[in-house]
Amino acid sequence: MAETLFEARDLSRIFEPARGALQQLSDRITGKQPAVVRAVDKVTLSVVEGETLGIVGESGCGKSTLARMITGILPVSGGERRYRGEDYVSFLARKRDALKVQMVFQDPMSSLNPRLKVGEIIGEAAALHRVVPRARVRDHVVEMLERVGLPADTITRYPHQFSGGQRQRIGIARALAVKPELLVCDEAVAALDVSVQAQIINLLMDIRQDSGLSMIFISHDLGLIRHLCDRVAVMYLGRVVELARTEELFANPVHPYTQMLLAGMPRISVERRAFMPIVGEIPSPLHPPSGCHFHPRCSSASGHCSRIRPELSEWTPGHMQACINAG
C-alpha cells in the first residue's frame, strides 16, 4: 500500500479582525470576545502517494486558507500537519525538504512578481536552495519551460508580456522547478477561459502521469473534480462534511449539502432527481449557524441539528460523512 504523504488532523485557522492596541486593551478589560472567523475548523484529511485529492466547496468556505496551511505558507491556529509522518514544525525548518510541498495559485496576474524576469521567477528558489547546481540552473529553467509548453526565450521576458494561460504555465513551472512531491492547485484554472482551462488541466494531468506527483486539487467546479480526482472532500463553512472516493461520492452522496451541490451541477443526462434546489444565502462566516452549519439551508434538518456539532464519521469503509440524520 502507498505511503501516506500528507496528513492533517483537526487543522484549524482563526482570523481575528485587526484591532488597534487600545481596542485590544479595552476588549481585555471588558472581557469582550472579538468576533472571529473560523476559516478552517478542525479539518482532518490525508493524501497518499500518487493520489489526487479534490477539495470542493462554495466561495469563502476556507479552501484557500486550508491550501495555504497545507503548503506551510500560513501558520495554523490549531491541529497538526505531518509530512511522511514528520511534524511540520521540524519539516518546515529544513528549508530544502520543505520545498516538497508546492502550490499553484489562482490568480495568474498577481501570482508572478512583475519586476522579475520569467527565468528569475522560476530559477530563484532552485538556485538558492541548490536544488540543482548553480551552473545548471539555466538549463533547468529551460527544461521546466519546455515541460509546461513554453519556448526557451521566455526566460528573458517579463510576466506582463504573457496571457493568463501562459502565466499559469509559468506558475506551474515555478512550482515544478523545486521538484515537489505534493502539488496543491488552488483554483488553478478558475480565472481562465474555458478552452485555456482544458489545456492547463491536460498539462497538469500529463505532469502527474509523468512524475507520479501527488496533488490536492481545489475547485468549485464539480465537473473538473470528478474528472481529475481520486478522492474528494466536500467543505462547508470551514468544515469537511463529506469525504469519499470520487465514484462513490458522485454515485452515493450522503450529506444533504453534497446532494444539493450535485443537484445543482449541470449534467448531460435528463434523469430527474428529487433533490431540493439550494435554498437560502450562504451564512456569514463571522456568525456561522450553531450546531451543524448547514442546518438553516437543509431540507432534512431536525431539532438536534442546531445543537449538536456533527463529527466526521465513517459511513461505509472509506466514505466519511458528517450528517447526524444520515441513514
Partner 1 sequence: MNRAALTEFAGRFGESRIGVASLAVTLTFLICALLAPLISPTDPYDLSRLQLIDALKPMGSHQVVPGEEFRASFAVEDGVAVAQGDAHGLAAQSCGDACLEVRLDAETPLASLQVRTLPAGASVEGASKHPVQNWWTVNTPAGNSVRIVSDAPLPETFNFSVIARSDDQPTDLVFHLGTDGFGRDMLSAILYGIRISVFVGVVAAGSAMVIGTGLGLFAAWRGGATDALIMRAVDFMLSFPAILVGLAILAVLGSGVGKVILAVVLVQWCYYARTSRSLALSELNKEYVEAARGLRLPAWRIMARHVLPNCMPQIIVLFTLNIAAAISLESSLSFLGVGLPLTQPSLGMLIANGYEYIFSQKYWISFGPGIVLLVMIVAMNLLGDRLRDVTNPRFER
Cα(295)–Cα(307) distance, integer angstroms: 10
Residue among 9, 44, 60, 283 that touches ligand ATP (CB under 6 A): 60
Build a one-symbol-per-residue string for 278-307: x at contacts with ligand ATP by CB under 6 A, - elsewhere. -------x----------------------
CA distances to 50, 112, 123, 215 from 105, in Å: 21, 9, 18, 13
Phi/psi at 63 (nearest 5 deg)?
A: -65, -45
User: Which of 72, 164, 283, 289: binder of partner 1 (CB under 8 A)?
Assistant: 72
Q: Return the residue of 5, 11, 63, 246 that touches ligand ATP, per CB under 6 A.
A: 63
**Stretch in the footprint of ligand ATP (CB under 6 A) among 58-66, 93-101, 135-143, 193-201:** 58-66
Residues lying near Mg ion in the complex (CB under 5 A)? 64
The stretch among 55-63, 121-129, 134-142, 291-299 that binds partner 1 (CB under 8 A) is: 121-129
Q: How far is CA 255 from CA 38, 245, 305, in A?
A: 21, 14, 13
| Binding site partner of 15, from ligand ATP, partner 1, Mg ion, none, Cβ cut-off 5-8 A by kind | ligand ATP
- What is the distance between the alpha carbons of residues 183 and 240, in angstroms, rounded to a whole number? 20
Could you say whether residue 111 binds partner 1 (CB under 8 A)?
yes
Task: List the 86-87 sheet strands across, edge first.
Answer: 37-48, 4-15, 78-83, 86-87
Q: Give the integer Cα–Cα distance in Å for 177 and 189.
A: 20
Contacted entry of partner 1, ligand ATP, Mg ion, none for residue 65, CB cut-off 5 to 8 Å set by kind: ligand ATP
Is 145 a binding residue for partner 1 by CB under 8 A? The answer is no
Q: Report the DSSP beta bridge partners of residue 9.
A: 80
Q: Which residues bind ligand ATP (CB under 6 A)?
A: 15, 37, 39, 57, 59-65, 220, 285
